[in-house]
Structure 1
Amino acid sequence: MSANPKRRIETDVMKMMMSDLEVSLVNDNMQEFYVRFYGPPETPFAGGVWKIHVELPDQYPFKSPSIGFMNKIFHPNIDELSGSVCLDVINQTWSPMFDMMNIFETFLPQLLRYPNPNDPLNGEAAALLMRHPKEYDAKVKEYVQRFATKEAADNAAGGEEEEPDAEMSDIGSISGDEMEA
Structure 2
Amino acid sequence: MSNIAAQRIQREFNEVIKSDEAQKFSIKLEMDGSDFRHINGEIAGPPDTPYESGNFKLEIKIPDTYPFNPPKVKFLTKIWHPNVSSVTGAICLDILKDQWAAAMTLRVVLLSLQALLAAAEPDDPQDAVVANQYKENRALFTSTARYWTTVHAGGKQLNPDFDKKIHTLLDLGVEKHQALVALSACDWNLDRALEQIFS
Give the shorter-chain TM-score range. Answer: 0.7 to 0.9
Q: Note the residue ranges of structure 1 that are not aligned, 5 or more in a row.
A: 151-181
Per-residue CA shift, 1:103-142, capped at 9, x if unaligned? 112x112211111111111111100010001111000000
Displaced runs of 4 or more, over 4 A: none
| Equivalent-residue separation in structure 2 for 1:112 and 1:46 (angstroms) | 10
Name the structure 2 match of 1:49: 55
Higher RCO (C-alpha 8 Å, min separation 6): 1
Per-residue CA shift, 1:122-164, capped at 9, x if unaligned? 11110001000111100000000101118xxxxxxxxxxxxxx
TM, length-normalised to structure 2: 0.70
Name the structure 2 match of 1:6: 6
Tell me how far 1:73 sits from its aligned partner.
0.2
Q: Percent identity?
A: 24
| Equivalent-residue separation in structure 2 for 1:63 and 1:102 (angstroms) | 14
Name the structure 2 match of 1:74: 80
150, 153, 162: which is aligned to 1:148?
Answer: 153
Aligned length: 147
**Larger CA Rg, structure 1 vs 2:** 1
State the Cα RMSD in Å. 1.6
| Equivalent-residue separation in structure 2 for 1:6 and 1:26 (angstroms) | 14
What's the secondary structure of 1:37's corresponding residue?
Answer: strand
Moved more, 17-26 or 118-127: 17-26
Q: Note the residue ranges of structure 2 that are not aligned, 5 or more in a row.
A: 156-199
Which structure's residues are more often helix, by fraction? Answer: 2
TM, length-normalised to structure 1: 0.76
- After TM superposition, the structure 1 = structure 2 runs for residues 1-181 of structure 1, keeping only pairs within 5 Å, are 4-19=4-19, 20=22, 21-105=27-111, 107-149=112-154
